[in-house]
Structure 1
Amino acid sequence: MPRIEVQLPERFAFATEVTLYLSHMNYAGHLDNALLLSVVSEARVRFFKSLGYTELDVEGIGIAVADAAVQYKSEAFHGEVMVVGMGAGDFSSKGCDLLWSMHEKSSQREVARGKTGIVFFDYASHKVAPVPDSFRARSGG
């Protein structure tokens, strides 16, 4: 099976720091693969907030995660500070990819990279909705 390869932009306009807690670790003492996505989810919430939105209110509609791809690069440990860069790209009429990269702050060691596919979703009508023009403009798409 071919391995996932996520191509990242040269730089991200948004970055945030997330400290790894004991609850993020697995039995081997490093960042659990599933909980890595919880760190990325926290960064996603902060990304939307930096644009003046919440995940439930982007110009009156919300988002839903459609898919995710992760490329693990190295271990991460309790107490380390992760810097998560994020940006939007590969827009379609109803959604886009949120590309992200995670590295350890002091050593700059890359921990993981990936992309999360999102669709815009009207939770009142339970239907997929078009990407709001203002989100596309604010997020660099």
Structure 2
Amino acid sequence: MPRLKIDVPDRFGFSTELQVYYVFINESGHLDNAQLLALVSEARERFFNALGYTQTNVENVGVLVSDAAVQYLSEAFHGETLTFEMTANDFNKYGCDLVWRAREQASGREVARGKTGIVFFDYAVRQVAPVPRAFSDKVAALDAAA
């Protein structure tokens, strides 16, 4: 079976730093795979905040995670700081992919990359909603400034 390969852009318009805390380390002595997804969730919230949104209010609709894929490339250890880069691409009528890359800050070593599928959701009527044009415009402007 072929291994998962996730392509990421050369440049991202957004980045944030997150520390690897001791509680994120598994019995093998490195960052636990489930804890990496928790760090990605924090980076995702910071990405939305950088655009002036929260995940529950993007032009009056929220987002739901529809799927996630991760490609692990190296270990991360307690005390390291990871730089998470993120952008949105592969837009469709109701959602897009949030693609991301995590690198160890001091060395630049790539730790992981992935993508999270999101759909926009109108919580008032409990239905998927079209991608807000202002959101995709802000993502494009953020990436263009990088």
Give the structure-2-normalised TM-score: 0.95
Q: 2:144 — aligned with what?
A: none
Matches within 5 A, 1:51-130: 51-130=51-130
Q: Could you list the per-position Cα deviations for residues 62-105 of structure 1 after superposition, in whole angstroms to 9, with x for gaps in the alignment?
A: 00000001000000001100000000000000000000000000
Look up the equivalent residue of 2:72 and give its one-letter code: Y
Deviating runs (4+, > 2 A) in structure 1? none
Look up the equivalent residue of 2:5 and give its one-letter code: E
Q: Give percent identity, aligned residues only.
A: 57
The answer on 1:43 being equivalent to 2:28 is: no
Structure 2 portions without partners, runs of 5+? 142-146
Q: 1:16 — aligned with what?
A: 16
CA distance in structure 2 between the aligned counterparts of 1:123 and 1:25, rounded to whole angstroms: 36
Q: CA RMSD in A?
A: 0.9
The structural deviation recorded for 1:2 is 1.6
Give the structure-1-normalised TM-score: 0.98
Look up the equivalent residue of 1:139 and give its one-letter code: V
Count the aligned residue pairs.
Answer: 141
The structural deviation recorded for 1:120 is 0.2
Look up the equivalent residue of 1:74 and give its one-letter code: S
The structural deviation recorded for 1:23 is 1.2
Look up the equivalent residue of 1:35 and give its one-letter code: Q
